[in-house]
Structure 1
Amino acid sequence: MPWLASLVVCGLLVLAMLLIDSRSASALPIPAGKVYAIPAFARKYGMPCSACHEAWPKLNNFGQTFKDNGYQMGNDRDAPIFQQPAYWPVSFRMTPHWHRVSVDRADILDPVTGNTTEGRLTNHGFDLSGMDILTAGTLAKNISFLLVPAAESDAVFAFESANVRFSNLLKSSWLNIKVGKFELDNMISEKRIMTLSDSGGYQIYHYQPVTEFTNPATLVPFAFGMGDNQIGAELSGHSKNSYTRYSAALLSSNDGSVGVPNGHGYDTYLTFSQAFEAGSLGLQRVGAFAYIGRAPTYLATSSFLADGFGQKSFYRAGFFGLWYLKKLDFMTMYTRGGDNVFLGTGTPSFSPLPTGAQG
C-alpha cells in the first residue's frame, strides 16, 4: 500500500528529530602517526588519510567506524564550526589515466552481412574520469550530511549522493536513520574500487537478462543495479567498534532516478555483517545481504503524470567475505538473483509470454 510506505518514512523522520541525542558519543581511539592531511576530514581532525583508508579510497575498520558514527569521533572537533578558515571543506576528484577494458562473449554485429557473432571486444588508451564534488560533515551533534554533485566524462551533471543522517537515536549506536539518495550498505563498495574503467563497477551488481533492456513493447525497460545509489530511508546500527553491523532500507523502485518514473513501487534492502580478529592475520569480516523489489512491466502516461503498472517481483541475495592475510587482502562474494518471467522476458503483464517461457 503506497500510503503505508509514505507513512513509515514520515514516521521515521519525526522519530529521528524527537530522539536525536545532542550529546557526543564515546570518542574513537585515534591512530598515531605523522600528519600529511589534505582532504577535509584529515585536516579537520589533524590526522593522516591512512588513519581511515588502508588504500584510498578503500576504508579500514577505523574509517568504517568514523563513517558509521556520522562522521564523528566523539570529541570537540565534531562540531560543524570547527573548521580551518584557510580552506573550503569541499573536495574535487577527477582522474586522468590510462586504462584497458576487455569484454568477453560480446555480441558483435558485422555491418556488411548484418550477422551477429560472439567474440571479445577490447579498447585502451589515455582517458579522463568524470568529476565528483564532495562535501560532507556535521550540521549539529549527531546530524550529518553528504552531498556529491557529479559529472560524467561528457560533462552531464547529476546528484550521485544527497542525504542527511540522524545518529545515535536514544543514545544508542544501534539506532541511526538516513534519508535521501545514498549508496546501499554494501561492504564491498563499488564506489571505493581502485580500478579505472568506463564499464562501471562490479558486474555482479548489475547483471540482468538482455531482454529486459531490448523489448520496446514494455515501454518501461526494467533496469536495476545493486551498486547504484538509491533514494529512500535507511535504518542502521552497529557496535561501538563497528565489528557488528546491520541495515534495513526502504527505497523507491526507480534505481536511484529522480521523479519516481516507475510509479508507486517500493523495494527493501537488508544487510548484516560480523567482523572478527584472526590473530596476526588481521581483521576478517563476513556478511549477508538481500534486495527484494518490484518493478512495472508497462507504463501508463498522461500529459501530467506517468505511472508504472503490472509490477512483478525480483530479488538479489548472497553473502560475502573480506579476508586479510596481514598486508594482503582479498574479497569473495556469492550472489543469486531471480526476476519474474515477465521482467526477464521484457513482456507486459497483460500480454502472453513468449513461446517456451514459464513462470
Structure 2
Amino acid sequence: MELELDRLRAVRVIGRGATGTVFLVTSRCAGDPYPHLPPLFALKVVEKHSPSAKPDADRRARWELNLLSRLTISPAGDAAAHPFLPSLLGAAETPELLAWALPFCPGGDLHALLHSLSSDAAFFSPAAVRFYISELVDALAHLHALRVAYRDLKPENVLLQASGHVTLTDFDLSRHLPPSSVSSVADPLPPPPARRCSRRHLTRIFGDHLKKARSARVSPVSRRRTSFSAAGESGDGRAFSFVGTEEYVSPEVVRGEGHGLAVDWWALGVLAYEMAYGRTPFKGRSRKETFRNVLSLSPEFPGNRRCDLADLIERLLAKDPARRLGSTGGADEVRAHPFFRGVRWDLLADITRPPFLPQPVEELEEAVAAGSEGFDVRDYFKGLRQPSASLSPSPSSSCSLAEF
C-alpha cells in the first residue's frame, strides 16, 4: 500500500537507530484516507541524503523494506505475516525520505523490561526465558527458511506486542545467503585469500597480546553496534561483513573467517544468558576485552548450577560454528533440546498468558484526551537540518488525535 506522508500525523518519536527514526503515527484525520491501517502504528523513516547518515544507509533501508514485503506475503500470495515478525502496512517515498509503516508494539523491548527489574530481584524465570526464546526460535526458523541471516539479535530488537508476544524488528543488518551456507556454516572451502584469518588480523583488533582475559561482570546498559566493513560474500556463500553488536558478535565474525546462519544461534545463546542472569556472558571492560572473551572464555553460571537452560546456553555458545546447536539441523535441532520439553510449537501464538502484559501508554492516552495535534514527520526532519525551523504542524494537514 502506497502512503502519503501529508496524510499522516506523528504523535511522538518512539525510537532512533543507526539508519532511521521511528514515530508513533496515526492516519485518523478527516476523511480517514487509510481505513485498512490501525488507529496507531509505527512509521520508520530514513533520510536518504542526510550528511550524518551512514554511506550505505539508503541501501540498507531499501533492503529492509524489500525483506518486510517478503515477510508479509506468504508463498501462496496471501497476506500471512509470521506472528513474531512484523508485517508491512504500507510505504512512502519523497525525494528526501523513505518510510514504511509497521504495527505498533506498546510493550517496548526486552532490554527495557529486563532492566526495569529491581537489582535485588530475580531476572527472568526459566519459564519466562522459555516463552520468549521459543518465539524467537520460531521467528529465526522462518527467516532461515528464506535463507536470511538476521545478524543483530539482542534485547533491544525484540519488541512486545499488546498481547505480550514478541516481534523481532530492525532488519537492516540482515543478509540473504546462498543455499550453500544454509545447510552448514562450517564450509570446508577456505575463505578468499584477501580475507583469510591471520594473526595479523587478530592483532589489529586486540593488540599484541592474545591472552585469555578475565570475565567482567558488567550490566550491558549501553551497547555499541559495530559495522566496520561493508565486505561482501565469498563464492561459497559465507558472509564476511563485520556487523552486529559487540556483546553478541560470534567468534567466527571476530576472527573474520566467514559466517552463515549459525551466528543467529550464537546470539540466541547470549540473549538467553542475559535474560536469565541479567548480564551478557562475555562483556569486558573494553571492546577488545569483550572480543577476547568471546574467543577464549566459556560462559560462567552462578553457583555452578547445571540445568537444561545452562546446557542449552552452552551448546548455543559453542565457539566452533560446526558444533553449535542449530548449525546442522537448524531450528528443529534447537527445538529438540530438553529445555523446550512440553512446548507446543504449533500453538505458540495462541498462548494467552505471557509472562508480561504491557500497560496502556499513559502519554498517548493523555494526548488523545487533550485533543493534541500531531506533527508532520517532514517538518521534523526539516527542523533537524534547520534548527530555527518550526516543528508545528501545517494547517493543511492538521488534525486532532481525539477525532479517532
- TM-score, normalised on structure 2? 0.21
Tell me: higher relative CO, structure 1 or 2? Use CA pairs within 8 A at least 6 residues apart: 2
Identify the structure with the greater strand proportion: 1
Which structure: greater helix fraction? 2
TM-score of the aligned structures, taking structure 1 as reference length: 0.23
